[in-house]
């Protein structure tokens, strides 16, 4: 989509074309259409879930990801252009910007960190031209900063870039290598997978990691192909529910809807993963990035920054460092907020927090400014409840009853935490 962004009428035309394509052709999930019809029963299911929230428990017993993981990953901004200096500088920036103190702790390498060939003993080898000091030295550096190092491999013959080997058939050896280097997190992709079911390929790595002698957060990147939410809770700490995010509004909103479908499966220790953040990469407006960050936080998605934090602008920093929004994501109850009502392109998303509080996002996905209302009946509160509504982006509070209305700009959102009196 190489359209000049300075041409609003072209953009408008494009939105309408995509809208009609969506309505007529539908997409794989048909969310946009189905949700409108089903919104009442969604609200009911939502209320039922409130009751069972306290019975949530940890299933994969590695003690990790009790709240959604937070950190950074190289892929969205750098793709294969990563090297050890970039990673060290990113770790430095994570600390110096104050992001580390807000909870962003994982510094994650994605594809392209290794040589194409294993060594004579079959071990993975860091790419000599870009990681000459080796991964162990890098992990030591990152750990000295009080941060954690993540790495990437693939449940197939080779990774998606085809520039390094996958771990299929080498699970135990690779898990031991990662543990010996001091790795804290593994993103495990799905390319070149020989057609074997992910339900066979991924648990092999789960077991290998458990036997590696080091707690390693296991992030499944199976793209949602075989509905991992339904089986991965005993396999990994997070599982991708969609294909890769792109840095544009259509991709971000589509992925938000696809991920939403699996909300009831998320819990402490195991999270739905709608892919990493694009905030700060330049393809969306500030309003759109605010929506992206707010919905990801509400949906208890891993908050993995995908921009170059060494040179991010102030607006990006302001979005990524909103403590009150981060607190929603990291709330200990671990209930994934979801879409509970929809009036055309005007949506209400909500989820229960600890202390009987409720997080609400009013999201304007239309092209025009609009008022959006969340009724208590849609968000699990009894209609007589009085609440203090805290606006997490304006940092202001008001007392309201029965419903909450706010004017929301196009593609923007308002995010609140409601505390019942």
Instruction: Give the residue numbers annotated as catalytic, written as ranges.
Output: 189, 244
Residues with Cβ within 8 Å of residue 144, at least 6 apart in sequence: none
CB atoms inside a 10 Å sphere around CB 421:
8
| Sign of the alpha-carbon torsion through 39, 356, 334, 293 | positive
- Please report how close the Cβ of residue 31 comes to ligand NAG at its closest, in angstroms: 22
- Please report how close the Cβ of residue 247 comes to ligand NAG at its closest, in angstroms: 17
DSSP 120: T
- Please report how close the Cβ of residue 292 comes to ligand NAG at its closest, in angstroms: 16
Q: Nearer Cβ to ligand NAG, position 29 or 410? A: 410
Q: Could you say whether residue 332 binds ligand NAG (CB under 6 A)?
A: no
Q: Which of 14, 191, 250, 367 binds ligand NAG (CB under 6 A)?
A: 367
Footprint on residues 83-122 left by ligand NAG (CB under 6 A): none
Q: Could you say whether residue 9 binds ligand NAG (CB under 6 A)?
A: no
Distance of alpha carbon 271 from alpha carbon 235, whole angstroms: 11
- Please report how close the Cβ of residue 407 comes to ligand NAG at its closest, in angstroms: 5
Q: Counting every residue, how long is the chain?
A: 421
Query: Going residue by residue from 262 to 301, which x/- string records binding to ligand NAG, judged by CB under 6 A?
Result: ----------------------------------------
- Please report how close the Cβ of residue 298 comes to ligand NAG at its closest, in angstroms: 21
- Please report how close the Cβ of residue 411 comes to ligand NAG at its closest, in angstroms: 7
Q: Nearer Cβ to ligand NAG, position 193 or 364? A: 364
Q: Nearer Cβ to ligand NAG, position 127 or 342? A: 342
Distances 54 to 49, 50, 388 between C-alpha atoms, Å: 10, 8, 23
Binding segment for ligand NAG (CB under 6 A), chosen from 102-110, 128-136, 365-373, 379-387, is 365-373
Binding segment for ligand NAG (CB under 6 A), chosen from 115-123, 222-230, 243-251, 361-369, is 361-369
Q: Nearer Cβ to ligand NAG, position 210 or 285? A: 285
CB 234 within 8 A of CB 60: yes
Q: Nearer Cβ to ligand NAG, position 298 or 370? A: 370
Residues with Cβ within 8 Å of residue 120, at least 6 apart in sequence: none
Question: Helix, strand, coil shares of the chain as percentages rounded to 5?
Answer: 35, 20, 40
Distance of alpha carbon 379 from alpha carbon 419, whole angstroms: 13
Footprint on residues 401-420 left by ligand NAG (CB under 6 A): 407, 409-410
Q: Which of 314, 382, 384, 396 binds ligand NAG (CB under 6 A)?
A: 314
CB 361 within 8 A of CB 413: yes
Q: Could you say whether residue 370 binds ligand NAG (CB under 6 A)?
A: yes
Give SS3 for 237: coil
DSSP 126: B
CB 198 within 8 A of CB 222: yes
Distance of alpha carbon 7 from alpha carbon 159, whole angstroms: 39
DSSP H or E run through 388: strand 386-391
DSSP H or E run through 238: strand 238-240
Q: Which of 194, 196, 354, 371 binds ligand NAG (CB under 6 A)?
A: 371
Q: Could you say whether residue 369 binds ligand NAG (CB under 6 A)?
A: yes
- Please report how close the Cβ of residue 98 comes to ligand NAG at its closest, in angstroms: 11
In the complex, which residues of this chain contact ligand NAG (CB under 6 A)?
Answer: 314, 367-371, 407, 409-410
């Amino acid at each position: 989509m190489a359209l000049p962004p300075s041409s609003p009428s072209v953009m408008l035309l494009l939105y309408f074309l995509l809208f009609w394509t969506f309505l007529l052709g539908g997409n794989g999930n048909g969310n946009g259409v189905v949700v409108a019809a089903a919104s009442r029963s969604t609200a009911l299911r939502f209320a039922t879930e409130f009751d069972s929230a306290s019975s949530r428990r940890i299933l994969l017993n590695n003690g990790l990801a009790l709240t959604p993981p937070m950190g950074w990953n190289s892929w969205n901004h750098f793709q294969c252009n990563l090297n050890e200096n970039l990673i060290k500088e990113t770790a430095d920036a994570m600390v110096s910007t104050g992001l580390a103190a807000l909870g962003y702790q994982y510094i994650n390498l994605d594809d392209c960190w290794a040589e194409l060939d294993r060594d004579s003993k079959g071990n993975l080898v860091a790419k000599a031209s870009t990681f000459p000091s080796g991964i162990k030295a890098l992990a030591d550096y990152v750990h000295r900063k009080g941060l954690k190092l993540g790495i990437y491999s693939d449940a197939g013959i080779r990774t998606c870039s085809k520039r390094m080997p996958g771990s299929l058939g080498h699970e135990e050896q690779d898990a031991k290598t990662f543990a010996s280097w001091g790795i804290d997190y593994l993103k495990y992709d799905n390319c070149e997978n020989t057609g074997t079911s992910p339900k066979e390929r991924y648990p092999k790595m789960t077991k290998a990691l458990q036997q590696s002698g080091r707690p390693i957060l296991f992030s499944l990147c199976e793209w949602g192909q075989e509905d991992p939410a339904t089986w991965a809770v005993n396999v990994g700490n997070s599982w991708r529910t969609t294909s890769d995010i792109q840095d544009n509004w259509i991709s971000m909103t589509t992925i938000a809807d696809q991920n939403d479908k699996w909300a009831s499966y998320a819990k402490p220790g195991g999270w739905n993963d709608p892919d990493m953040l694009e905030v700060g990469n330049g393809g969306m407006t500030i309003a759109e990035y605010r929506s992206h960050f707010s919905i990801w936080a509400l949906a208890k998605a891993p908050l993995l920054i995908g921009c170059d934090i060494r040179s991010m602008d102030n607006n990006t920093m302001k979005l990524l460092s909103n403590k009150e929004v981060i607190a929603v994501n990291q709330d200990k109850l671990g209930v994934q907020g979801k879409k509970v009502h929809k009036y055309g392109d005007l949506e209400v998303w909500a989820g229960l927090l600890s202390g009987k509080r409720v997080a609400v996002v009013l999201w304007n996905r239309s092209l025009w400014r609009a008022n959006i209302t969340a009724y208590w009946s849609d968000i699990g509160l009894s209609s007589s409840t009085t609440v203090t509504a805290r606006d997490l982006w304006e940092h202001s509070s008001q007392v309201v009853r029965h419903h909450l209305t706010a004017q929301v700009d196009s593609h923007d959102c308002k995010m609140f935490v409601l505390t019942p009196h």
